[in-house]
Structure 1
């Protein structure tokens, strides 16, 4: 049986004079890029540069909207009315859409960032606000969400194409959510361990939680975080492992 999967990375997270990640190198290895839209990271210059680099690399582009939280990198929970979340998602997606248009680059998808992503994975009302925003900007956009979550369900209910996402460098709880970053076992630091973790998820379409619980999960796209120091090594190892196991790597929109 043959398998195929999208390999995505959160990119464009530098800000002003502050550089985060090795975007130009990572873009040559992934098939989809989630570009920060200025609320949790990134700015107008970084957005323009990242879209241009993605076009040169032939990498599909998506918006990566987050909470308005530069100081916390969008990873702090914020309790914002769903109507406002709807508007802040439209604002950020629209900003990146403008840069894509200027570069004659198609926008493929939208993936919420950080705390917004995690909260929407559990909160149906928040998930519906995000799905509505994506649909109202462009119903052809693909919504990335945690596999089997409230966010993917909200997208499917709206009639959007949805990509069920799993994470190469994160561990899972028994309910299928990501282990909070405040816990010491939240991050997988070994590239070899991450590769084995990913291969099992793809070939078995399931995840294994930290307590050994096994959950059936659809796997359309795999995320590696671009701000991790090991991200470039992770992506190289993952690509090599996937190719060695005859897994086809391609963007979800292709």
Structure 2
């Protein structure tokens, strides 16, 4: 069934000090998306970048989300760190708290949490980590949306525990037969028209082609395009334009009621 509205999210603020990641086009991407996953200092980002990015999201009317990662600035959070679920969740809480204070200074709320990179993928397959994370978020703020893949263990646990989630579709990543993205540390330049067509087909038909060449069903509430993918601005612009031309509205997910599981 065709989607009438979809969230468009991107990872923002992933520089550090004077350094930027990707094409450095956050300012151009921000007005084109509806939700921003703001780096919270462990894999990228710093206090000044967080403050600026939150303000930029506010000015663009974009939903603010925390994007916590492994404590891995050197590896950009794409290397798995072996720790207990509780220790990893404590790191997430620390990062979420930092962003929430900058959001409070800007007089905006924090809409969601989306783990970054290898931490996202670890939670997707690790039930203990997913349970610890979801249980902790429900104590902090039961209305916080958690971004995850529908094929993930995180989503399964969320359904069980009543955690409001936003299911993601990755425009700039490949899928395997399980419905999971193929995790990669380096992505080449992609054709904006092909990426937009892939997203449009997923929104219209609920289908995607896997790296094995099969067709699988897929459902989601949000489309992610990483800001560090080469040519990210063109990918976001082409995808947004294509969706709007086909009468699919770009909008942040609606607020979740505490203790209610939301699935669009």
Deviations 1:196-225 (A, max 9, x none): 111111112233211122222221001010
Q: Which residue of 2 aligns with 1:109?
A: 112
For residues 86-105 of structure 1, the aligned pairs below 5 Å read 86-105=89-108
Partner Cα separation in structure 2 for residue 151 and residue 205 of structure 1: 21
After TM superposition, the runs of 4+ consecutive aligned structure 1 residues lying more than 3 A away are none
Partner Cα separation in structure 2 for residue 246 and residue 30 of structure 1: 16
* Alpha-carbon offset, residue 188 of structure 1: 6.7
Q: Which residue of 2 aligns with 1:195?
A: 196
* Alpha-carbon offset, residue 35 of structure 1: 0.2
- TM-score w.r.t. the length of structure 1 is 0.94
Contact 1:148 1:218 in 2 (8 A): no
DSSP-derived class of the 1:174 partner:
coil
Partner Cα separation in structure 2 for residue 123 and residue 200 of structure 1: 30
- 1:29 matched to 2:32? The reply is yes
Deviations 1:72-119 (A, max 9, x none): 000112221111112111111111011111111011100010001111
* Alpha-carbon offset, residue 142 of structure 1: 0.4
**Residues 2 and 113 of structure 1: is their aligned pair in 2 closer, same or farther, counting only changes over 3 Å?**
closer
Q: Which residue of 1 aligns with 2:87?
A: 84
- TM-score w.r.t. the length of structure 2 is 0.91
Contact 2:189 2:229 in 1 (8 A): no
Q: Which residue of 2 aligns with 1:240?
A: 241
Gaps of 5+ in 1: none
* Alpha-carbon offset, residue 187 of structure 1: 5.8
Counterpart pick for 1:169 among 169, 172, 180: 172
Partner Cα separation in structure 2 for residue 84 and residue 141 of structure 1: 20
Contact 1:77 1:115 in 2 (8 A): yes
Partner Cα separation in structure 2 for residue 157 and residue 118 of structure 1: 20
**Residues 188 and 169 of structure 1: is their aligned pair in 2 closer, same or farther, counting only changes over 3 Å?**
farther
Q: Which residue of 1 aligns with 2:158?
A: 155
Partner Cα separation in structure 2 for residue 76 and residue 99 of structure 1: 27
Aligned residues: CA RMSD: 1.6
Partner Cα separation in structure 2 for residue 205 and residue 130 of structure 1: 29
Give the aligned length: 252
Partner Cα separation in structure 1 for residue 133 and residue 72 of structure 2: 17
* Alpha-carbon offset, residue 2 of structure 1: 5.1
Partner Cα separation in structure 1 for residue 146 and residue 6 of structure 2: 16
Gaps of 5+ in 2: 256-264
Q: Which residue of 2 aligns with 1:42?
A: 45
Partner Cα separation in structure 2 for residue 196 and residue 156 of structure 1: 30
DSSP-derived class of the 2:172 partner:
coil
Partner Cα separation in structure 2 for residue 2 and residue 18 of structure 1: 38
DSSP-derived class of the 2:225 partner:
strand
Q: Which residue of 1 aligns with 2:205?
A: 204
DSSP-derived class of the 1:67 partner:
coil
Contact 2:171 2:223 in 1 (8 A): yes
Contact 2:85 2:132 in 1 (8 A): yes
Partner Cα separation in structure 1 for residue 3 and residue 149 of structure 2: 23
**Residues 175 and 213 of structure 1: is their aligned pair in 2 closer, same or farther, counting only changes over 3 Å?**
same
